[in-house]
Structures are given as C-alpha cells and as structure tokens.
Amino acid sequence: MNAPRSPRIACIGEVMIELIAGDGNAAQLNVAGDTYNTAAYLARLGARVDYVTVLGRDRFSDRILAHMRAQNIGTEAVTRHPDRHPGLYAIETDATGERSFTYWRSQSAARTLFGPDDRAPEDLLARYDLVLLTGITLAILAPEARTRLRRALNAWRDGGGKLAFDSNYRPHLWGDADLARRETRALWEECDIALPSVDDEMALFGDPDEAAVVARLKDFGLRAGALKCGAAGPLDLGPSGARAEVAPATKVVDTTAAGDSFNAGYLAALTEGATPMAAMTAGHALALQVIAKPGAIVDLD
C-alpha cells in the first residue's frame, strides 16, 4: 500500500532583507519575513512548501531566491517585478531578548502581489492543499488585491482547501484600526486553522484578557487551531479547550519569529496526523529553539 501523499503547502506574503544590528557599526544580513520564516521551518521539518510573493530583478532579489532554494522552499510561485525591490528591516534587541524593528517596505515588490500586473490567485491556489496567510500579508496588499484573494480563497476552500490564518497585527501597516478589525474578522470567520497570539488579539479587538479573546473567537466561528499565549503555553481552540503543558524557556536571546516558528511546528505536526495537543507541544518546542538564538531563521538542534 502506498503511503499517503504529504499535503502541498503555500505560505503567502512578503520576504525581506533583514539587518540584525550588532555592536558599534556591525550588522548581520539575513533574509526573513513572518510567513517566510514559517515556510523555512516547515521545509526543515520535511513539509512540501512553496512561497508565494513578488520580488524584483535586482541582486537582493536574487539573494532571496537563492536563500529559498537553500532552504528547500519551492520558488515556482514567485513572480518578479521589473521596477520594484524587496523590503528591508532592521532589528535591535534588548537585554531580555525583546526586539524593536525599523522598516523600509512601503514600495516593495511584494505590495503588487495579486495586483493587475500579477497572476490571478484562483489559478495559483488550485495547486495547494493548505495555505498560510497572516494579517501582515493582508495589510500590505492593495484593497482590490485583498478582495480578489479572499474571493479566491472562499472558492478554493469550497473545493476542499484548508486555510490557516494568523492575525499577526501590526498597527503601523494598517493605519486604520477599524479596517484591520474588519479584515481580520472576515478571515477568522473563513479560516479552517486559527493561529492567533493573545497579545495581538487584545491589541486589535480590545479584549481585556485571554478568556475574552477565546470567547470572541468562538463567536466568530473558530473551531480549530491554537491560541499562542507566550510563557503560559498555547491553548487549544478546538473542542478540548485545553492548554498544552509545555516546558518554560530557559534561554531567551531573540524573540523574533517565536510565533512564526510555532506555526511551523504546529502545522507540520497537524498535517502528519498529530493530535491538536501534540501539535501545540511540537510548535512550542520549536519556538523554544528559535528564541534561544539571534535572528528569525536559525540552525536547529
């Protein structure tokens, strides 16, 4: 008997050049981005994953493509813009590992994704069994592209596709908090696997605590996924409502990509048949490795 086929996964979004500020004038140059970080860790865990974005035709875009291939991330869903370039961001971390970011991305090539000069999302989605989308991706898309993508996702889900969504709220990208709430709620109501962070949800929707976040998400119709709650451990958004018993972090160097790596560990385990509790434990274990080292995409033990 043949083994079941591993699902084909697409992560949609923006991949950027990452600068990690060091001592004095030193800096380290990397490649990163929220859904891209997840794609890299999914690939390391053996998943079949493609990245969906728009790059330029410059040398930094060439560097990003080379990085994707080195990570075993599929590049066939990458298109290239003739005039625009990738976004750039810089990270500085404090003594506790908390990070601050500075971005240069307002005219990045990825902002043309699913626009009039890019491909139609309907044709793209048909290739995949599972798609990961975040609020950051929604925020950088033009309004028309966002509407086009949502309609395509609804039709694709009617045909059996599964959508995973992480709100990953970044106020500076949205500008308009009411718009962010409307768009995020629409995705919560439409997704199959929810991967919110409690802090993001409280900041966006004004919930007073974790219990209020869970109650609201249930009202939105969520029935599967995990609420990331930092050191408290993730909470199952499925029928059990249970919290995973997880090990505490013993070393925190850089919390960049903590949530992104959790998403990868969780989805990789879930698509291989793990229970939600086991998937949460896998996601947390991966995130612990990532936050113990500097940068978004690190070498795993």
Q: Please give the positions annotated as active site.
A: 260
User: CA-CA distance, 171 to 163, in Å (whole number)?
Assistant: 23
Give, as one character, the DSSP assignment of residue 117.
Answer: T
Angle between helices 143-158 and 177-190 (to 10 degrees): 10
State the pairing for strand pair 162-166/193-194.
Answer: parallel
Specify whether the CB–CB gap between 41 and 164 falls below 8 A: no
One-letter amino acid at 79 equals T
- The H-assigned helical ranges of the chain are 34-44, 59-70, 121-125, 135-140, 143-158, 171-174, 177-190, 198-205, 210-219, 258-271, 276-291
User: CA-CA distance, 117 to 113, in Å (whole number)?
Assistant: 8
User: CA-CA distance, 293 to 279, in Å (whole number)?
Assistant: 22
Q: How many CB atoms lie within 10 A of CB 275?
A: 13
Look up residue 174 and give its two tokens.
């949205």
User: CA-CA distance, 216 to 89, in Å (whole number)?
Assistant: 33
